[in-house]
Structure 1
Amino acid sequence: MTKATKLLTALPQPQRSRLMDLAHEVSFAEDTRIFEAGGNADRFWVIRSGAVSLTQQVTAHQRVTVASLGAGDLLGWSWLFPPYQWDFGAEAFSPVRAYEFEAGAVLVLCEEDPVLGMSLIRVVAEILAHRLELTRGRLTEAYALHRRTR
């Protein structure tokens, strides 16, 4: 399995600096719901410290954790794709500090700086590919375990 790509360290320095000009430092207390599936995806975060659980609602009263994110990880990618709604929910698993980016401002910057735009899209694609690979591995393990217990 490949190492997880970290958004800020993967961007070339000039593009990273331009992106960071748009960053706002935020924090979330433990157990804070950061966003809900189906909500308006108008921002994203890069986690500085702490842990965030990505969750999927499976019943009216039950959520399952589908991924855990930590320092350096990208939180939120739905702002890039119509209909611009969160695919999962997110909850602070511990106190979290993060850089927050408003999607509209980042998209304008990407239009003004196509090198930044292409770099950002490539890095987000690498992150998504890595997360898909991890999910595929978990599903394969769960299927194998299920087959053994039948």
Structure 2
Amino acid sequence: MTNSPTSSMTRALPAEHRERLMCAAKEVSFPHGTRLFEEGGRADRLWVIRTGTVALDIHVPGRRAAVIEVLGHNELVGWSWLFGPHTWHLGAETTSPVRAYEFDAMEVRAMCQDDPVLAVTVTQWVGDVLAHRLRAARTRLLDLYAPYGS
């Protein structure tokens, strides 16, 4: 499990912005093996994990989906909701029972539209998470598919 410093909501957002977002949070739980979303699906929610783990995966034609990263406590699940066309770029599945805070993406985007300072903070947080996930995906795919010794 990789817990990058910027993926943690508590480290990435000032207290006032966390509190504002948490007003929109709904507590949810998922059993082990639940697909949260599939690549190409509508990205209309995001989650911050309270307990448990979620594996991010990428579809590889003719093979099993490749797990890119496993996320845990206080990490953001989902970034595609922030950037158009609001479709998932990866898939996600719980690898243990999960309790999380769930947010409606349209509500969070509306909050950001109403508060430019919140928007910058949230965009920076999600952008940092996105950059980390792209590096993780590149590394994992090279591990899986690059010629040995390259």
Q: TM-score, normalised by structure 2?
A: 0.87
Deviation string for 1:81-124 (max 9, x for gaps)? 11111111110000001100001111111111111111000111
Give the match's secondary structure for 2:20. helix
Separation in 1 of the partners of 2:43 and 2:96?
22
Query: Structure 1 residues 96 and 138 mapped into 2: Cα distance closer, same or farther (>3 Å)?
Result: same
The aligned residue for residue 4 of structure 1 is 5
Which residues of structure 1 form unaligned runs of 5+? none
- Would you say how many aligned residue pairs link Structure 1 and Structure 2? 147
Distance 1:134 1:63 in 2: 15
Q: Distance in 2 between matches of 1:65 and 1:142?
A: 10
Q: Tell me which residue corresponds to 1:70.
A: 72
> Tell me, which stretches of 5 or more residues in structure 2 are unaligned?
none
State the distance in 1 between where 2:4 and 2:58 align.
Answer: 24
Q: Distance in 1 between matches of 2:38 and 2:97?
A: 18
Q: Identify the residue that residue 126 of structure 2 maps to in structure 1.
A: 124
For the 8 Å contact 2:68–2:136, the answer to whether it is kept is no
Compared CA separation, residues 25 and 67, structure 1 to 2 (3 A): same
Larger radius of gyration: 1
Matched, 1:103 2:105: yes
2:57 alignment partner in structure 1: 55
Partners of 1:94 and 1:141 in 2: how far apart? Answer: 24
Structure 1 stretch 114-123 or stretch 6-15: which is displaced more?
A: 6-15
Residue 92 of structure 1: aligned partner = 94
Q: Counterpart amino acid of 2:131?
A: A
Q: Superposition RMSD on alpha carbons, in Å?
A: 2.2
Cα drift, residue 7 of structure 1: 2.2
TM-score (norm 1): 0.87
| Higher helix residue share | 1
